[in-house]
A and B are shown apart, each in its own frame.
Chain A
Amino acid sequence: MRAEEILASALAVPIESVPGDASIATFEPWDSLGHVAVIETLEAAIGRKLDANEVLTIVDVATIRSALERGSSAKAVR
């Protein structure tokens, strides 16, 4: 799952409407309740809960992408 797909799915918006630089400061559909869904969708995608430090990093497409990559690496190591 790509970072943009995480946002589109969690925020119930078309993936075409998710800019590549979407962030919590600029992307209107990304609100507080949407953020809950974003984190849950991301956790489902990587197959584990994020810890507090990781949750704090999730602020835009790039940080979601990084979390996905870390999640994939962790799976590959197992």
Chain B
Amino acid sequence: MGAHVPGTPVRLETDRFIIRSMTTDDVGEHYLAWLHDPEVTRFLQVGIDPPDLAQLRDYVAGHDNRTSYLLGIFTRSGQHIGNQRARIMPHHRVANLSVMIGEKEYWGRQVVLECRARVLDFLLRDLDLHKVQGGCTSDNRAAIFNYKRQGWREDGIHREQYVSAGNRVDLIYFAMFRRDWTARSDGAR
């Protein structure tokens, strides 16, 4: 187990970004607008029934930094550009990790790869989890790229699970195991 004390806020850094636990003080029209933007939520379930401001505050407050982490991605100048969310099953030492980049000007700029690498380090090294799982719909080719580029293993396909833009699409799961991540990131050091 690393330096993180369960129940306390998380703060991580990458070359370009600060990743830290979200609080209700971070909730405002800016964040809310992402969840009402069809382009941002195109591949996210939140777009089906987007929250209002009060619901969004409740959602943020519902993360305890023990088994659920909502981590905001902030530029070094403090602009909030997206989130990563991890839900942990402690007994199994498995987490589900999702990501949303709300600021479209940051799409295609490797934010997901950079920030998810840091969060994978946190989950798999600091928290000593065995496996992190993520997923995306089969029409989300950019997300598939990011999983493949980062070395995630395919972890199953749920056929025709969702409707996306009027079409039935598959839900593809990916997994990063601790042994793979440590071998990969140790090799890069």
Q: Which chain A residues have a beta carbon within 8 Å of chain B's beta carbons?
A: 24-25, 31-36, 39, 51-53, 55-56, 59
Contacts and interface: CB of A to CB of B under 8 A. Distances in A.
A37 to B, nearest CB: 9
A53 B145 CA distance: 13
Interface residues of B, number: 18
Interface in B141-167: 141-146, 148-149, 154, 157
Nearest to B154: A56
A-B interface, 6 closest residue pairs, ranked by CB to CB distance from nearest: A35-B145, A52-B138, A33-B108, A32-B142, A52-B170, A32-B145
Contact of A52 (B108, B112, B172): B172
A46 B86 CA distance: 39
B180 to A, nearest CB: 14
Contact of B142 (A33, A53, A56, A59): A33
Listed residue (B144, B146, B154) with the most chain A CB atoms within 10 angstroms of its CB:
B144
30 contacts: A24-B145, A24-B149, A25-B149, A31-B108, A31-B110, A31-B145, A32-B108, A32-B110, A32-B112, A32-B142, A32-B143, A32-B145, A32-B146, A33-B107, A33-B108, A34-B108, A35-B145, A36-B142, A36-B145, A39-B141, A52-B138, A52-B157, A52-B169, A52-B170, A52-B172, A53-B157, A55-B141, A55-B144, A56-B148, A59-B148
B113 to A, nearest CB: 8
Given A33-B107, A35-B144, A53-B157, 12 more contacts: A24-B148, A32-B110, A32-B145, A32-B149, A33-B108, A35-B141, A36-B145, A39-B141, A52-B170, A55-B138, A56-B154, A56-B172
Contacts of A33: 107-108, 142
Nearest to A31: B108
Contacts of A36: 141-142, 145
B84 to A, nearest CB: 16
B107 to A, nearest CB: 7
Contacts of A51: 138
Interface string B19-59: 00000000000000000000000000000000000000000
Contacts of A39: 141
Contacts of B107: 32-33
Listed residue (A51, A52, A53, A55) with the most chain B CB atoms within 10 angstroms of its CB:
A52
Contacts of B172: 52, 56
A56 B157 CA distance: 11
